[in-house]
Amino acid sequence: MKRSAVVLLAILMSLTACTGGGDEPSAAAPSASASASVGADPTARSVDGDVEVWDLTGDPSDASFGIGKAEPRADYGGDEPRAVRFELEGGSIQLDLSDLTFYHEGDVFAFLSRTAEIPPDQLAEGYRDLLEALDVDRASADAFEAELAGAPTDQTGQVTVSYPDEIRLGDWTLAVSAAISPAVGTGVLTVSAGYRPLLVG
């Protein structure tokens, strides 16, 4: 794997780990329609009614995601969650997002998305719905629901789940996870993805 792929995937893993519990800072930009790093509109984004749509079926580029020259990322977020749909080869997923960040490092493009803080029942249901939309095994959703049901309400440690296997749609590899601190009472869903992350050379 090339060094750029290793670096970016390490970043995504660390960001994905920092979800849930309500005490992590947001990486969002000031508004859902603006990028924190550039002024140009991303060419991969469109609007379908009330849904923000990102077309990830083609080859990615900086222009696709509004990534400028100043830094290799573009942040999209807002004061209120909004419906976002990712269109990928072989399927699509939709969820209400608070934060969305696209990255470009060397040969690799990636994104990290997360919901706003949501209560336990919605979190478990949302995780299951994502797995169903991706047409993958739901055993981890069953285990997550059981662990949530058995966790003390004053537990400060997080209850977490990550889909254990690689999820591949076209040239994107996705990771789906959820995390919640029962004592806080809310948690977040996270979807991250890398474009052709398994590079050799």
Range of the domain at 174: 3-195
Please tell me the distance from the alpha carbon of residue 201 to that of residue 188, in angstroms, as a whole number: 36
What are φ and ψ of residue 11, in 5° steps? -60, -45
Eight-class DSSP state of 42: P
Has residue 200 been placed in a domain?
A: no
Provide the percentage of residues in the chain whose pLDDT is more than 70. 78
Has residue 166 been placed in a domain?
A: yes
Has residue 179 been placed in a domain?
A: yes
Please tell me the distance from the alpha carbon of residue 18 to that of residue 95, in angstroms, as a whole number: 19
pTM comes to 0.82
Has residue 123 been placed in a domain?
A: yes
What are φ and ψ of residue 120, in 5° steps? -55, -45
Instruction: Domain count for the chain, please give it.
Output: 1
Per-residue burial over 117-138, b = 16 or more CB atoms within 10 Å of its CB, e = otherwise: bbebeebbebbbbbbeebebeb
pLDDT tens column, 65-102: 999 988 899 999 888 899 999 999 989 999 999 999 99
Has residue 64 been placed in a domain?
A: yes
Judge whether 57 and 89 are in contact, CB under 8 Å.
yes
Has residue 44 been placed in a domain?
A: yes
pLDDT tens column, 106-138: 888 999 999 999 999 999 999 999 999 999 999
